[in-house]
Structure 1
């Protein structure tokens, strides 16, 4: 049976959770003045020092007082390990965590914390022993050892998200994509709104081969509905939205190509070019496929987008310079196409200039701005 916390320590714990560390320290100082043997108060005091100051020295002093009262207090040992890490004594945490496991072999958190830190500690040791270079075999051995400890944490705490987070990180560091994805699925079963796992799963789906920009944007929009504060998913939605805008430029370039074909701008071997000027009926008829391209490829497609995606498109145009550049290029290419078609030219030289003027800006930046869509 867990011993209830003294009211002052319980209030301090809540204040620390609210990141009101100074108030918590004042409350704990009064509590320790009344009862300097309150181990939990010393532990919470160390936690407050680690919260806003990352002050390892003060935290170590507090955990030292707690362990002097009870060297086998698992909570004090775990906080002492955190204080050692903040104080620049990271390798020493392994021994402290193993002692916590010895004292409480059924407590999952000690295993999870040791697994999370062990491969890093081994990496530091390997680097120090090899002139700053971590040997690959040392790193792989450390990941295997940490992975086994993480699995023990999962067995002892099958409903604890942190245990799966640690196992997923170890699998990721070992380039085991399959296990990492399995851990993400386990995390999302326990916490369907877990932002990091949701962002990773959505990114994997959105960046899979063959996934179109509209599908990717829909995946990110659906995920953001569950975790609206996720910065990685917002970036993913922005990238997918930018891919949609780049598609508009392709529509304009297609119209420019149709305009060139309509006026028979380029001579072909063995072919006879149309006589200029084209009649009004022919010029208007050449506008029909352009109208169909924009109606089906842009307007209808835009109306079928989720409302959130449409809002993000407008926001993206305001926030980023490249979407405005792409839309400007599309508008310019379309203007050149209309000038080629609508004016009854008698010579092909000026329409040819308009064709290259509409094409050149887009082609000049098309490959350069491609990374912006990723």
Structure 2
């Protein structure tokens, strides 16, 4: 097997550094090899080095301006660099050079989506053409799903993602996108199971990891907001009650129990891997420490409200101030 053949195999295996070494050998022997430059661009795409991907694609085009593969790779690189009109031009050239290859239309749709208001009809026609040319390719259905999602047609997007998964049950992108729709429908268990499955299928799929973090942040914020509501409710009853301690005590206990039930129900709706991730964030990620601590303080203040209303007010004020100060400091450090 020659260097290019070995590079192809290494890219498929995810061994990108070794693939680069093989491609360097191939390019040393033939600096004008379009295939080697395109494979290098593909390799850089998988590692996320968009500038290097763009350079490799441009070198391939310098060797052969009529390479549809090089135009396709350049379109994707320009798209990631947010040079949308240039990306569209490259994708259109790829479809002109190879009008019967479905991959060109998938890339064209991808480049058109950021300017969908302007190119709505062209994007729709390109997505339909991709599916027409390759009805058994999951990627074609996935692309049409992304387009329908961008148009706001979520039921149709869901059907597209399910068809993509029927054709390719290990398609991580389709599973992640379907889970996003489930999340919008408040189907938390299905959504988090989908995100976890997508990440298991493709550990490099950053969008699935980001979605899991998003769900965990929502859970923590929901618990904090609910604890603040309990605190305010108990504080109001304590201040306005004229019936002694018994009534505020009962309200404090009831609302705290309801808060605990809500939190337990919310957490148990998460898929098991996401629950484990949430526990890891609470233990190890200092960005979430203010949220967790303020939640505990608000609940503790609510539970002691009926007995110590002055401490209730003081603890609540201190918790609020501490939360916003630490949160502002955290944002300043990560800006």
How high is the TM-score relative to the length of structure 1?
A: 0.61
Q: Deviations over 1:118-137 (max 9, x none)?
A: 677xx6xxxxxxxxxx9x5x
User: Is contact 1:46–1:83 with CA below 8 Å preserved after alignment?
Assistant: no
Taking the aligned partners of 1:93 and 1:225, their CA distance within structure 2 comes to: 33
SS of the equivalent of 2:16 reads coil
Superposition deviation, residue 154 in structure 1: 0.7
Taking the aligned partners of 1:78 and 1:49, their CA distance within structure 2 comes to: 10
1:359–1:48 Cα change, 3 Å: closer
1:22 pairs with 2:17: no
Which residues of 2 match residues 345-360 of structure 1 at below 5 A?
A: 351=309, 353-357=310-314, 360=317
1:10 maps to which of 5, 10, 15 = 5
Aligned to 2:282: 317
Aligned to 1:129: none
1:221–1:245 Cα change, 3 Å: farther
Q: Deviations over 1:52-109 (max 9, x none)?
A: 3221442223435xx6xxxxxxxx43234434776996525523421212xxx3x322
SS of the equivalent of 2:144 reads helix
Aligned to 2:225: 246
Aligned to 2:198: 227
SS of the equivalent of 2:305 reads helix
Q: Deviations over 1:269-293 (max 9, x none)?
A: xxxx45xxx6xxx75x975664455
Taking the aligned partners of 2:72 and 2:176, their CA distance within structure 1 comes to: 31
Q: Which range is displaced more, 353-362 or 230-239?
A: 353-362
1:186–1:108 Cα change, 3 Å: same
Taking the aligned partners of 1:314 and 1:50, their CA distance within structure 2 comes to: 37
Aligned to 1:206: 183
User: Is contact 1:108–1:154 with CA below 8 Å preserved after alignment?
Assistant: yes
1:60–1:357 Cα change, 3 Å: same
Taking the aligned partners of 2:75 and 2:277, their CA distance within structure 1 comes to: 45
SS of the equivalent of 1:227 reads helix
Superposition deviation, residue 147 in structure 1: 1.5
Which protein has the larger Cα radius of gyration, Structure 1 or Structure 2?
1
Superposition deviation, residue 333 in structure 1: 1.8
Unaligned runs of at least 5 residues, structure 1? 1-5, 68-75, 124-133, 268-272, 341-350, 370-374
User: Is contact 1:13–1:44 with CA below 8 Å preserved after alignment?
Assistant: no
2:106 maps to which of 99, 105, 112 = 112
SS of the equivalent of 1:198 reads helix
The total of aligned residue pairs comes to 294
Taking the aligned partners of 1:224 and 1:84, their CA distance within structure 2 comes to: 28
User: Is contact 1:161–1:191 with CA below 8 Å preserved after alignment?
Assistant: yes
1:79 pairs with 2:50: no
Taking the aligned partners of 1:321 and 1:47, their CA distance within structure 2 comes to: 45
RMSD over equivalenced CA pairs, Å: 4.3
1:24–1:234 Cα change, 3 Å: same
Taking the aligned partners of 1:361 and 1:227, their CA distance within structure 2 comes to: 41
Aligned to 1:63: 64
1:110–1:201 Cα change, 3 Å: closer
Superposition deviation, residue 313 in structure 1: 4.5
Taking the aligned partners of 2:130 and 2:27, their CA distance within structure 1 comes to: 35
Aligned to 2:35: 43
Taking the aligned partners of 1:250 and 1:308, their CA distance within structure 2 comes to: 29
User: Is contact 1:256–1:336 with CA below 8 Å preserved after alignment?
Assistant: no
Taking the aligned partners of 2:197 and 2:152, their CA distance within structure 1 comes to: 28
Which residues of 2 match residues 277-316 of structure 1 at below 5 A?
A: 287=249, 290-291=252-253, 293-295=255-257, 297-298=259-260, 302=264, 305=268, 308=273, 311-316=276-281
Superposition deviation, residue 148 in structure 1: 1.5
User: Is contact 1:253–1:333 with CA below 8 Å preserved after alignment?
Assistant: no
Q: Which range is displaced more, 155-164 or 308-317?
A: 308-317
1:167 pairs with 2:158: no
